[in-house]
Structure 1
Amino acid sequence: MSSPLQEATRDAFGRALARLGERDPRVVVLDADLCRSTRTRAFAEKFPDRFFEMGIAEQDMVSTAAGLAMAGKIAYANSFAVFITGRAFDQVRQQVALPALNVRLGGSSAGLTLGADGATHQSVVDVALMRSLPNMTVIVPCDGPETERAVEASLAHQGPIYLRLSRYETPAWTTHVPGFAIGKAIRLREGRDLTIAATGVVMGQVLAAADLLARRGRHAEVLDVHTIKPLDAEAILAAAGKTGRVLTVEEHSIIGGLGSAVCEAVAERAEKRIRVRRLGVRDTFGESGTADELLELHRLTAPHIAAEAEGLMRIRNP
Structure 2
Amino acid sequence: MKLALCTDVLGDLSFPQMLDKVKSYGITGVEMTAGGWSPCPHVNTNELLASPEKLASFRLELEKRDIEIVALNCSGNPLAPGELGEKHTASSYKAVELAGKLGVKKIVMMSGLPGGGPEDKVPNWITSTVSWPDYMPGVVDYQWNQVAIPWWKTFTQHARQHGVEQIAIEEFPSQLVYNPSTLLRLREAVGDIVGMNLDPSHLIAMGADPIAAVRKLEGAIFHVHGKDARIERALADIDGLLEYKPVTETKDRTWNYVAVGCGKDLLWWKEFFSVLRMTGYNGYVSLEMEDLTMSVEAGLETSIDALNATLSR
Same-fold call, TM cutoff 0.5: no
What TM-score do you get using the length of structure 1 for normalisation? 0.30
Q: Relative to total residues, which structure has the larger strand share, 1 or 2?
A: 1
